[in-house]
C-alpha cells in the first residue's frame, strides 16, 4: 500500500470526513463551493491524492464520485468529490437540502492503480484479491471501477467483474477475449466514515 494512504491516522481521517460534510452542506444549501484552507491543515492531506466520496441514505447508495489520478491536494480532492457525488452522479438526481439530515458519507483514499497482467479470463479471476483490491476495467473509451468495500456485497469474483462491466457499459463477452482486450488495474484503499454510515445495499 502506498505511503500516502498508510500515513493517515484516524484523526486525519476524521478531518477529511468533516471537510466532505462541510463541502456537501455548503453546496447543497447555498450552491457555494467550499475550498479547505490548506495552510491550516496537516501536511499529509495537502499533498496530491486520490479519493472517492460515497453518500448513502439509510444504507442505500445516493451518490459516489472520485478520482483515480491525483490532481489536487487530497483535502481539496475530497471537498470536490463531495460536491460531485451530490450533484453529478448520473445515476441519481441531485441531493436536496431536505435529504441532508439523512445522508451519511464515507471518504475513501486510493493508492495509485497498478496494472494487473493476465492472459485468460480464468487467470484474471485467480489473481483478484477479494476484500483487498479495488478493480478498474478499461475497454476502448469506457472505464468502470468498484471499491474494495463492494466485495462485502458482491463476494464472488465473477459477479464482481460482471458488475463493473455493467456499470461501465463494457460488453461482458470482452472479458473472455484472448488475447485480452480489457485493461485491468487494481488499487487498495483506506476509508473513513461518519457515525451511522452503512455500506450501501443498492
Tens of pLDDT, residues 3-54: 444 458 899 999 999 999 999 999 999 999 999 999 999 999 999 999 999 9
Question: pTM score > 0.85 for this model?
Answer: yes
Any idea which fold 114-187 has?
A: Dna Ligase; domain 1 (3.30.1490)
Query: Do 111 and 7 contact (CB within 8 A), yes or no?
Result: no
pLDDT digits (tens, 9 = 90+) for 127-179: 999 999 999 999 999 999 999 999 999 999 999 999 999 999 999 999 999 99
CATH code of the region 3-111+189-193? 3.30.700.20
Which residues belong to CATH 3.30.1490.150 in the chain? 114-187
Map grid coordinates 463541502 to a residue: 23
Q: Which residues contact 57 (CB under 8 A, 6 or more apart)?
A: 99, 102, 103, 104
3-state DSSP assignment of residue 184: strand
Closest CA to 2 of 40, 44, 57: 44
**What does the block give as the cell for 78?**
475530497
pLDDT digits (tens, 9 = 90+) for 65-116: 999 999 999 999 999 999 999 999 999 999 999 999 999 999 999 999 999 9
Which residues belong to CATH 3.30.700.20 in the chain? 3-111+189-193
Residue 200 burial (10 A CB sphere; 0-12, 13-18, 19+):
buried
Amino acid at each position: 500500500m502506498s505511503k500516502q494512504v498508510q500515513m493517515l491516522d484516524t484523526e486525519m481521517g476524521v478531518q477529511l470526513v468533516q471537510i466532505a460534510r462541510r463541502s456537501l452542506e455548503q453546496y447543497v444549501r447555498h450552491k457555494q463551493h467550499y475550498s479547505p484552507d490548506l495552510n491550516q491543515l496537516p501536511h499529509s492531506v495537502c499533498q496530491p491524492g486520490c479519493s472517492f466520496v460515497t453518500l448513502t441514505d439509510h444504507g442505500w447508495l445516493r451518490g459516489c464520485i472520485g478520482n483515480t489520478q491525483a490532481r489536487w491536494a487530497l483535502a481539496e480532492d475530497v471537498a470536490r468529490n463531495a460536491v460531485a457525488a451530490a450533484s453529478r452522479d448520473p445515476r441519481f438526481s441531485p441531493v436536496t437540502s431536505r435529504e441532508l439530515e439523512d445522508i451519511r458519507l464515507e471518504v475513501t483514499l486510493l493508492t495509485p492503480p497498478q496494472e494487473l497482467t493476465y492472459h485468460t479470463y480464468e487467470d484474471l479471476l485467480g489473481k483478484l484479491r477479494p476484500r483487498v483490491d479495488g478493480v478498474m476495467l478499461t475497454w476502448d473509451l469506457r472505464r468502470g471501477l468498484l471499491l474494495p468495500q463492494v466485495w462485502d456485497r458482491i463476494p464472488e469474483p465473477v459477479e464482481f467483474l460482471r458488475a463493473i462491466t455493467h456499470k461501465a457499459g463494457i460488453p461482458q463477452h470482452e472479458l473472455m477475449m484472448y488475447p485480452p482486450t480489457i485493461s485491468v488495474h487494481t488499487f487498495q484503499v483506506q476509508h473513513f466514515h461518519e457515525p451511522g454510515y452503512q455500506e450501501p445495499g443498492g
